[in-house]
Structure 1
Amino acid sequence: MLASFLMGLVGGQRGMTPLAAVSVAAARGGLLPGNGAPRLLGHPAVATATLALAAAELAGDKLKSAPDRIVPIGLATRFITCAIAGASLAPFRQRWPAALLGGSTAVVASYFGWRARVATMPRYGQTPTGLVEDALVILGAVAILRGLSRSSGGAGVGDMIRRRFT
């Protein structure tokens, strides 16, 4: 369930990226067997649609009119998309706790990301800080999924972290 937690951290910054990443991975057969992903998530049309929505979110974030990520609809969206992504990254029997973990983590992480962004925007501006955040979010989502695909026996991201830091 570490992957669900980590994807929730990613989703706290960009709500659609975790869902798009998991959907693309499911469409390519890149999720571990026996995962909690809904079958619909792996359909190529769904993967394309979630990817388009994630790209639109990345672009829209740079607009002056973009709402804060901590508005109620933004938090609700993050919870839902990251709950689905979190469930998809966990074994089927753990899908509900993983969904709760991914969604809840995204909501909490939204506040930390928002604070950091608000603190850096006066010095660096909205677009540069957004682009740095985008890069971190995309790299984070890819790293989480790569960690899952490289692990054997469902050990997941925790095994990858232990190998790198021990």
Structure 2
Amino acid sequence: ADTMAKASPALDDEEDLEFVCPICYLYLCEPIKTPCKHLFCKNCLIKSFGFNRPPRCPLCRTDCTHVKVLELKTHSETEDIVKKLDPEYKERASKCIRERKMWMSSKFLAPLFQNMESGLYEVSGAGNDEVNGIYVVGHVPSYLGPRLYNKPGTQIFMFRWNRREWIIASLARGFDD
């Protein structure tokens, strides 16, 4: 069974739409409320704050520089409702927590959690789970060329080509092996 389909609300159910994240369009997972009173999935807001400098609410563009997203508490009232609407909630929430722990353990992604400047990109829909994920500024000794972004814990890199396309490649060890 497709979990994306299960986590997506029926489009004709207007009442459920207030429990849908405006970023991922799935039922809210670990819902948190911004100071401007908008609800998002915790991980969606973390990623949004990482990509937008300075951090702003994805809906109304309110400045959220002072918001420590990891310290925002789950909106329990909303979470209780979403748990009833989404039979996959418990599984999705534990996956989100694992994903966040992985981000926090990465020395490259740590600045994201402190609302600091960072060069992060997310690849999704690439047709390959190994390629999809968060990429950070990477470094390869003796490489001269466009800025490289690395998927932490892998040898997968990407770079922008001709300002229009992104190239993703798995870089093995040097040619002298």
TM-score by length of 1: 0.31
Higher relative contact order (CA 8 A, sep 6+): 1
Query: Relative to total residues, which structure has the larger helix share, 1 or 2?
Result: 1
**Higher radius of gyration, 1 or 2:** 2
TM-score by length of 2: 0.29
